[in-house]
Structure 1
Amino acid sequence: MYDVPHLRFPEFGGEWRKYKLAEICSFFSGGTPSSSKKEYYDGNIPFIRSGELHMDKTELFITEVGLDNSAAKIVDVGDLLLALYGATSGDIAISQIKGAINQAILCIRTTQNKKFIESVWKKHVEKLLQTYLQGGQGNLSADIVKNISFYFAESNEQIKLAKFITLLDERIATQNKIIEKQQSLIKGIVDNLMTALLKGELYPFSSFYIKAGEGGTPTTSVDEYYSEGTIPFIKIDDLSCKYLTSNKEFITELGMQKSSAWLIPSQSVIYSNGATIGAISINEYPVCTKQGILGIVPNTNVNVEYLFLLMSSSFFSKEVNRIITEGTMKTAYLKDINHIKCPLPSMAQQKSITNLTSSIEEKLYTEKKLLKFLNLQKQHLLRTMFI
């Protein structure tokens, strides 16, 4: 068996060579200036954190004094940055800015093509995380990364592959911008409509539904609450689209009975009131939810599409932010949400409002399908054009 990719540009031949990253790269990570020292912050040095690898700006800045009195280190535009631990562990990007990094980021420098390394890393990242972050626990480290081996093409083939993947990434970035603009347009229309409606009569949110409440999580140690379950069990990651049409986890009838979970009928609003507050969907089929996610069953005076737009609006978000309770986890309790005064126009007016956004939403749905196709295409090319 030859060490060559399945799909290849026709002008290239010969086998790829396998190297440990330590053989062709150098590495360093950073540190964090003491947060108790005010003189270390609000300077002019961008402080890159692991959630900002793909960005061209940072939220935090540190001073030269903060840099000199900590383990923070400077990276340059074009350096390859890898998130070692936390929610973004395994994420990789070529830095768009010159700034300082903390201990959760590993800088990788090499004479090899960095886009090539980024691409081959992305091909293998799921397997790498399964190996080193078993069960979601554990961290990557510089020592682990140094000992990972990849196959490398000769320089000219690396360059051509990198240019090809870069073109695809640029197309994906463009598609994301198209989607963001359409989402902004919908949000602008909804916010303007809500501003106008707020001048009329307002009603407490409790009058919008016939039933509402949080879900509950069956004890994970009891296998019969989950094994061969058929009842959709919704978590925060499932609330990524307007219409909830699929989910990853299920519980059994017994699991639902032995917890505070309840079966929320279809055409209800599913709303996160804990952790990621404001994530929202309309469920297309009956579901149960975990704690921190509300099911809201609209009454006969409320169109579910209108309820979704209302709860997605800036007005509603601001009102919810006012009643958030701080604790081990930020929570917007239903008992407090119930007191928010909201506009409730006639059913005919509600339908007119939802019709204004429906055509844009159909276009948005099409653009999201295209984005999904582009991402799948990229994954296919990573699998077939890299070893």
Structure 2
Amino acid sequence: MANNSNKNKCNVPHLRFPGFMGDWNISTIGAEFDLYSGNTPSRLDKQQFMGKVNWISSGELKEHYISSSKEKITEVAANNNSLKILPIGTFIIAIYGLEAEGVRGTCSITKEASTISQACMAFMPKGNVTNEFLYSWYKKHGNLIGIRYAQGTKQQNLSYDIISQFRISFPSTQEQTKLERFISLLDERIATQNKIIKKYESLIKGIMVELQKQGLKKGTWKKVFLNDILTERNERNSNLYQVFSVSVSQGIINQVDHLGRSFSAKDTSKYNVVHYGDLVYTKSPTGSFPYGIVKQSLNRERVAVSPLYGVYVPNSLAIGVYLHKYFMSEINTHNYLHPLIQKGAKNTINITNQRFLENRVPMPLDSNELLLISKLLRSVNDKIRHEQNMLQEYQKQKQYLLRQMFI
């Protein structure tokens, strides 16, 4: 791979495959692509969602390629709602809710003919840039685009007018093809690593379900109120610890590392302090957790979180480990929180920190059994963290190559 030492003198990337020379072309997204945003058929007519046509939502744009959507509509529904049937190989991005975790920069290329929701935008080439090249270009720039250009107060969105004006640099078709194949190989390895992690996570969920099922059946488990095993930690951030956020996939993580920048107030002295082993409950809807998420802090150093989060001290580390894994389940989290939640006038979630503790979860009666379970869960979790670290290294390598090989 050739290193370009004259980057400041011409429109070329830092790294380039041997044999390719000359400046890259410069154009705009609007000049190179026709843009299209979809629609959502009325859910009052359930028949519309009983078809075979893919209807892709923004939350499904996780991998390089998307083959099948969770929901499918009928051809009649597509026609009645002016939904285009997009061909195989269409590039799609998420344009709504870019303030949420993991949404900025998400995109995929279709492997089947599909329709899309209004939260997505599709790109159809009309110039010299391929959808595969655009995928890599957006993977490089998408997160920053979401931070800098998304508009809105509560929900951050991108519009046609904004996207169409973005400038894009691109090489010849032959060089695009070379880059596409290279990036696809990286994505295949990343996809494989994700599958390994998901298998371990499925193993933990299976263990939890089976232990609970057998324990309740034998009478060695009982349902325990959280206010009997958790105590709210009311400690303010007078020492001005670093501000962390809560992630579905990565737990309690540095806000800048996770979100790309700090969203905290200038004065964080009123924020809540989190110690190692504490449980944190966020009240913000996140993906498949409409009532928020619960995570245990594995950070050895004390950190701060938003005052909107509830922070709780478990009676033992083993209890914290068990509850962390228990609330990894979307079903468990929904069933626990649903009876406690009150929805506000604007569909906001109303629940006090003390109210959060007023429901029950199944747990072993024997503290030794709980300790053994926590050790097992921590062992599998250590393996997951190892695989996640490997995944992060692959992702860092990809981001480095995107920065160096694309403009």
- Decide whether the 8 Å contact of 1:214 with 1:291 is kept in 2: no
Q: Secondary structure at the match of 1:73?
A: coil
Q: 1:25 to 1:191 in 2, by over 3 A?
A: same
Matched, 1:272 2:289: no
Distance in 1 separating the partners of 2:361 and 2:379: 29
Tell me if 1:204 matches 2:225.
Answer: yes
Q: What secondary structure, in the 3-state scheme, does the structure 2 residue paired with 1:151 have?
A: strand
Instruction: Report the Cα distance in structure 1 between the residues aligned to 2:13 and 2:171, rounded to whole angstroms.
Output: 10
Whether contact under 8 Å (1:83, 1:104) holds in the other structure is yes
Whether 1:329 aligns to 2:348 is yes
The alignment status of 1:293 with 2:309, answered yes or no, reads yes
Deviations along 1:58-114, one digit per CA (max 9) or x if unpaired, are 233333332222232110111112333333465332112212223333321225332
1:366 partnered with 2:386: yes
Q: 2:52 matched to which residue of 1? A: 44
Task: Indicate how the Cα distance of structure 1 residues 302 and 12 shifts in structure 2: closer, same or farther if over 3 A, else same.
Answer: closer
Amino acid at match of 1:14: G
> Are positions 1:22 and 2:30 aligned together?
yes
Query: What CA deviation, in whole Å up to 9, does each residue of 1:4-33 have, x standing for no partner?
Result: 211111122222111223333333333333
Q: Identify the match of residue 132 of structure 1 among 146, 149, 167.
A: 149
TM superposition shift of 1:377: 0.6
Alpha-carbon distance between aligned partners in 2 of 1:336 and 1:342, rounded to the nearest angstrom: 16
1:64 equivalent to 2:75? Answer yes
- Secondary structure of 1:31 counterpart: coil
Give the aligned partner of residue 113 of structure 1: 130
Deviates more, 1:83-92 or 1:364-373: 83-92
- Counterparts in 2 of 1:350 and 1:35: CA distance versus 1, 3 Å: closer
Looking at CA atoms only, which structure, 1 or 2, has the larger radius of gyration? Answer: 1
**Alignment size in residue pairs:** 370
Question: Do residues 191 (structure 1) and 212 (structure 2) align?
Answer: no
CA-to-aligned-CA distance 1:211-253 (integer Å, 9 cap, x gap): 227999xxxxxxxx99xx813444444x6435x4644456788
The equivalent of 1:78 in structure 2 is 89
Inter-partner Cα distance in structure 2 for 1:162 and 1:301? 47
Could you tell me whether the CA contact under 8 Å between 1:33 and 1:40 is conserved in 2? yes
Shift of 1:312: 4.2
**Displacement after TM superposition at 1:151 (Å):** 1.4
Task: Work out the CA distance in 2 between the residues paired with 1:106 and 1:386.
Answer: 22
Correspondence for 1:4 among 12, 36, 55: 12
Alpha carbons 2:274, 2:297 under 8 Å: kept: no
Q: Unaligned 5+ residue runs, structure 1? A: 217-224
Deviation at 1:296, TM superposition (A): 1.9
The superposition leaves residues 239-284 of structure 1 with CA deviations (integer Å, 9 ceiling, x where unpaired) of 6435x4644456788842xxxx544443222233553433312253
- For structure 2, list consecutive stretches of 5 or more residues without a partner in the other structure: 1-8, 257-261, 287-291
Q: TM-score, normalised by structure 2?
A: 0.78
Q: Distance in 2 between matches of 1:382 and 1:262?
A: 38
Closer/same/farther in 2, CA of residues 241 and 31 from structure 1, 3 Å limit: closer
Letter in 1 for 2:166: I
Partner of 1:241: 250
Cα pair 1:48 1:58 within 8 Å, conserved: yes
The alignment yields a C-alpha RMSD, in angstroms, of 3.3
Match of 2:113 among 87, 98, 103: 98
**1:378 deviation in Å?**
0.6
Match for 1:354 among 374, 381, 389?
374
Quick one: distance in 1 between partners of 2:33 and 2:134? 10
Please, which moves more after superposition, 135-144 or 262-271? 135-144
Shift in CA distance, 3/57, structure 1 to aligned 2, threshold 3 Å: same
Cα distance change on mapping 1:95 and 1:331 into 2, 3 Å:
farther
C-alpha displacement of 1:179: 0.6
Offset from partner CA, 1:291-317 (integer Å, 9 cap, x none): 653322122596433443444468853
Structure 2 counterpart of 1:208, which letter? Answer: I
Partners of 2:316 and 2:380 in 1: CA distance: 26
Q: 1:115 to 1:355 in 2, by over 3 A?
A: same
Distance 1:345 1:313, change over 3 A: farther
AA partner of residue 384 (structure 1): Q
Report the residue type matching 2:362 in the other structure. Answer: C
